[in-house]
Amino acid sequence: MRRLFHRFGTAFLAMPLVVKVAVLWLIFIVVAAIYSRLDRLFGQALPLQDPFYQPFLFGEARPVEGPSSAHYLGTDVLSRDNLARLLHGGWVSLIVAATVVSFGLVFGGFIGAFVGYTRGKVETVTMAALDVILAFPPLVLLLALVAVYKVRNLTMIALVFGVLGIPTYVRIARASTLGVAGREFVQAAEAIGTKRTTILFREIIPNIMPALFAYALINAGYVIVIEGTLSYLGLSVQIPEPTWGNMINEGRRDIRQTILPIFWPGLFLTTSVVSLNLVGDWLQQRVAVRSSAL
Amino acid sequence: MFGKVLAVRTVRLIATLFAVSLLTFLLVEQLPGDPILAILPPGGLDDLENIERIRKELRLDDPVLTRYFRWVGNALQGDLGKSYITDQQVSDAIKDRIPVTMELALLATLIAAVLAIPIGALSAYREGGYFDRAMSAFTTAALSIPGFLAGIFFIWLFTLKFNWLPSTGWNRITDKGLLANLQTAILPAAALALAPLAVNARLIRADMIGTLKEDYILSAKAKGLRDRYILMRHALRPSSLTAITVFALQLGGLIGGTVVIETVFALPGLGTRLISGIYQRDVMMIQGITLFIATVYVVVNALVDLLYAALDPRIRRQ
């Protein structure tokens, strides 16, 4: 654990300033999203407002307030607290992105490495099947799939995104595996009679992970955008549960009264995607340099 | 040589289209709720005889594969069936809506191409300079902003703040003329163009940086030609070939991307029809439009592949 922290620390210091800021911003968003969920878990014991509470119904506040000490980021037309809704919305984006990335790294990484290393008919069939899924425009396939399910809660949405995300990871894992499988250390392991399963897990998979991980960061940004888009269309997690996308959708309707319920989620959406792209690009360049130096 | 490539690609294209249509059909087939429920008037459920009659009429009781082949067979003849909800022919709906979507996609491609060339060329001209760095920040932002957010921002800026352009609605060229049409088309097209613009600008920049290092650029400089002339005449030309292929490739992606932009601006395009179909659980409409968009996407991508092969002999040999 201490070694891990140390490695992260060294890597962090090596980053250019912009990438450092991006990493800190991402950490902040993740912590804030988890904080909002802990708050709900403990029955709103932490200092954060209830994202569903509409105080104007009880004469406690007026709708559409600007930022104040009671509501740091103002309130929307139903006088709900923008900050609380923003952080709860961040949780949805976080969960969907984390699901896609972990499904992609675990299943996509394994399937890609497996078919890339064993080759043969299994590879041909798998890749052909994936090509069909990748032949669709991503948003349209997602729309058709989401239309199928009546239940649109976070678990369901995260699962649909997670499964649909796998094919690209398989492609990248397979391509990297094809590059790794011919290298000397794999040949050496084969020559001394190491079992193929062991080679797959000990030699191939650890070597394709850096490239896959760099892709995962950029992919996470893409997933957040697509989830936001789907939410905006009202086809992701349903209102009143706040997501960045459906906050923007509701805010679009009330745009003449207040811009804040669009501005905050829009800002968080864009900056988190920019940050993920910056970190991902930086990592990708490093990975490329490292593998070309070998 | 090229004929063989063409044959292989065509077979692969047909196989992909077949698989895509099957997947579309099976997906939407899973929609919960009997389509009968959508057709019947309220209270019509008690009339069992009537239900049976409609079932027979629409032949809903046939096995799945029989219905799939009937659907695809009809689709090949341009008949995508009739909406159970609105009684409209799906192919008519597509014909009615496609001009809006096509215009948006083409206009966005045009904006992206026209703006990307000077941005990319000038960035490459002084690599690492102020303009280059500013544009690099711009392209990063443009790639990260979701299209719908850019659309809403444009509405806020140009409609609510400046009151220059209408925020929603669509003027058809045939009704109101080109100018009125562009008034309603320019904002959504600009929102749609942001991402491809950033991609193009980066691509042209990278390509031109390579080109500017060539010997013939040096000799042009030695001849005393002006920088602007060299940049636009000597350097841009060899880079334009790659750029054009990429522009074509983006057209396929844009057809999917218009779905959400049309919704933001409430335009009567294919995307809004698909979305309203999803809200109404209109099986035939979802199947038909999804198949149509996916087909266009697959065909455009295949054509671009072929274009690459025609232009670059190295790809042909693979």
Tell me: the pLDDT tens digits for B206-257? 888 888 888 888 888 888 888 877 877 777 776 666 677 677 667 767 876 7
Asked if residue A182 belongs to a domain, the reply is yes
Asked if residue A14 belongs to a domain, the reply is no
Main-chain dihedrals φ then ψ at residue B135, nearest 5 degrees: -70, -30
Total domains in chain A come to 1
Asked if residue A197 belongs to a domain, the reply is yes
Yes or no, beta carbons of A147 and B281 under 8 Å apart = yes
- Report residue A34 as tokens: 């988890």
pLDDT of chain B along its 318 residues, tens only?
667 778 888 888 888 888 888 888 887 776 655 666 666 665 666 667 777 777 776 666 677 788 888 888 888 888 887 887 777 888 888 888 888 888 888 899 889 888 988 888 888 888 888 899 899 889 988 888 888 899 999 888 888 888 777 777 777 777 777 777 777 888 899 999 998 898 888 888 888 888 888 888 888 888 888 887 787 777 777 666 667 767 766 776 787 678 889 988 888 888 899 888 888 878 888 888 888 888 888 888 788 777 766 765 555 544
Which pLDDT score is estimated for B301?
79
Yes or no, beta carbons of B27 and A235 under 8 Å apart = no
Residue from A125, A131, A141 whose CB has the most chain B CBs within 10 Å, to mutate: A141
CA-nearest of A109, A229, A223 to A166 is A109
- Report residue B292 as tokens: 């149509």
Asked if residue A33 belongs to a domain, the reply is no
Q: Which residue has the tokens 């090949």?
A: B76
Asked if residue A201 belongs to a domain, the reply is yes
Asked if residue A8 belongs to a domain, the reply is no
Query: Does residue A105 carry a pLDDT above 90?
Result: yes
CA-nearest of A34, A176, A36 to A112 is A176
Which pLDDT score is estimated for A156?
86
The range of the structural domain enclosing residue A165 comes to: 94-293
CATH of the domain at A169: 1.10.3720.10
pLDDT tens, A138-180? 788 888 887 777 667 888 889 889 998 999 999 999 988 988 8
Yes or no, beta carbons of B28 and A233 under 8 Å apart = no
CA-nearest of A241, A243, A238, A236 to A268 is A243
Which pLDDT score is estimated for A290?
59
Mean pLDDT for all residues in chain A: 84
Task: Specify which residues B89 forms β-bridges with.
Answer: B82
Q: Tell which wins on pLDDT, A233 or B243.
A: A233
Residues 6+ apart with CB under 8 A from B239: B204, B207, B208, B211
Residues in chain A with CB shorter than 8 Å from the CB of B283 are none
pLDDT tens, B169-215? 777 777 777 777 777 888 899 999 998 898 888 888 888 888 888 88
Residues in chain A with CB shorter than 8 Å from the CB of B28 are 144, 147-148
Angular region, A136: left φ>0, alpha ψ -120 to 50, beta rest: beta
Query: Does residue A196 carry a pLDDT above 80?
Result: yes
Which pLDDT score is estimated for B35?
60
Interfacial B residues in 264-303 facing A (CB < 8 Å): 264, 274-275, 278, 281, 286, 290, 293-294, 297-298, 301
Query: Does residue A24 carry a pLDDT above 90?
Result: yes
Query: Does residue A201 carry a pLDDT above 50?
Result: yes
Name the band, by pLDDT with cuts 50, 70 and 90, for residue A21. very high
Asked if residue A266 belongs to a domain, the reply is yes
Task: Please give the average per-residue pLDDT across A31-42, as a whole number.
Answer: 82
* C-alpha dist (Å) from residue B293 to A26, A141, A236: 36, 10, 21
Asked if residue A110 belongs to a domain, the reply is yes
